[in-house]
Amino acid sequence: MEISTKHNHIVRVSKKRQKISKVFIHGFVILFGIVMLYPLLWMVASSFKNPSEIFSSVSFYPSKWTIDNYVQGWAGVSGYTFDSFFVNTLIIVTLAIIGNIIACSMAAYAFAKLEFKFKSVMFALMLLTLMLPFHVTVIPQYIMFNYLDWINTYYPLILPKFFATEGFFVFLMVQFMKGIPNELVEAAEIDGCGRIKTYWYLILPLSVPALVTTMIFTFIWTWNDFFGQLLYISDLKLFTVALGLRMFLDSAGESAWGPMFAMSTLSLIPLFIVFVFFQRYLIEGITTGGLKG
């Protein structure tokens, strides 16, 4: 009895405290959100400004709204418009995601849950591949892809992902899979699951937060990565959004800032949607805790 009232008291107090802290958290989060959003708002506002106003006026708000930048930007260059750039980029991004998720999760499963000789050597090698600045491997890589006659195709941008060349994601998944209780894995094996089935029916579903993280990052990074695309894609038919955006810029001459901002704004929309849609898997997804019980 006594214990129970004490308990109720604690709950009440902590509820009140929770209310205060919630208000505080909200206030902080909103204030902070404005700081975070400033660049986006600035860019969106600029995209509706007359190009000459973007740099000359200090005002945040366009003095005269115009959608010319969008019209002009969408028109792209020499008959190739942004809709083809968007489609091309989506193709590359989707394939890259598939590649990364399959190949990286396989490697991660091996590193996290399987025992084999030279495992730590292999793991160290994988980390090493992350430590070399890409500027010095660009040229040998280009020579290689040129030799394979892959220039001006999407192969150099996509195929490597199917071979888990992005160690970042392998390492990420390793960290998550290590957190999956071994008892679960053993239980599955006792139930007659082979290692392959365990991977497919147990490990993958339990790694959803890591897989979604991988997906979001692959989407955003591939979408934004322009250096690889710059080197390997020159045909307008194959142009991506990142390349389309770079086309507006020429540091030695006149840059089309208005259209650049307009198209940048549009190109953020898919990223934003993907993020908003999938991030809930990070929050509401399957919890290992629930399974552990």
Tell me which residues in 46-85 interact with other proteins (CB under 8 A).
Answer: 51-52, 54-56, 77-78
* Minimum distance from residue 129 beta carbon to other proteins (Å): 5
**Near other proteins by CB under 8 A: residue from 188, 202, 247, 262:** 247
Which of 68/98 has CB closer to other proteins? 98
For other proteins, the closer CB: 1 or 196: 196
The single residue among 91, 193, 197, 266 that binds other proteins, judged by CB under 8 A, is: 91
Nearest to other proteins of 32, 67 (CB atom): 32
Of the pair 62, 98, the CB lying nearest other proteins is at 98
Q: Residue 197, interface with other proteins (CB under 8 A)?
A: no
Q: Kindly tell me which of 6 and 67 has the beta carbon lying closer to other proteins.
A: 6
Is residue 113 within 8 A of residue 206, CB to CB? The reply is no
Quote the least distance from Cβ 71 to other proteins, whole Å. 14
Nearer to other proteins, 70 or 261 (CB): 261
Does the footprint of other proteins cover residue 115 (CB under 8 A)?
yes
The nearest distance, CB 65 to other proteins, in angstroms, is: 19
Considering only residues 203 to 232 of the shown chain, the ones binding other proteins according to CB under 8 A are 205, 208-210, 212-213, 216-217, 220-221, 224, 227, 230-231
- The correct pick among 143, 187, 191, 200 for binding other proteins (CB under 8 A) is 143
**Cα–Cα–Cα angle for 230, 231, 235, rounded to 5 degrees:** 70
Residues 249-268 close enough to bind other proteins by CB under 8 A: 249-257, 259-261, 264, 268
Site residues for other proteins, 158-187, by CB under 8 A, read: 159-160, 162-165, 168, 170-172, 175-176, 178-182, 185
Residue 17: CB atoms within 10 A of its CB come to 10
Q: Which of 12, 29, 65, 200 binds other proteins (CB under 8 A)?
A: 29
b/e map 151-182, b = 16+ CB within 10 Å: bebbebbbbbbeebbbbbbbbbbbebbeebee
Looking from the CA of 195 toward its CB, the CA atoms found within 13 Å total 7
Shortest approach of other proteins to residue 62 CB, angstroms? Answer: 16
In the list 12, 59, 67, 138, the residue contacting other proteins (rule: CB under 8 A) is 138
- Look up residue 55 and give its amino acid: F
Question: Distance (Å, rounded) from C-alpha 172 to C-alpha 119?
Answer: 17
Nearer residue to other proteins within complex by CB, 65 or 227:
227
Q: How far is the CB of 278 from other proteins (least distance, A)?
A: 9
Number of chain residues interacting with other proteins (CB under 8 A)? 145
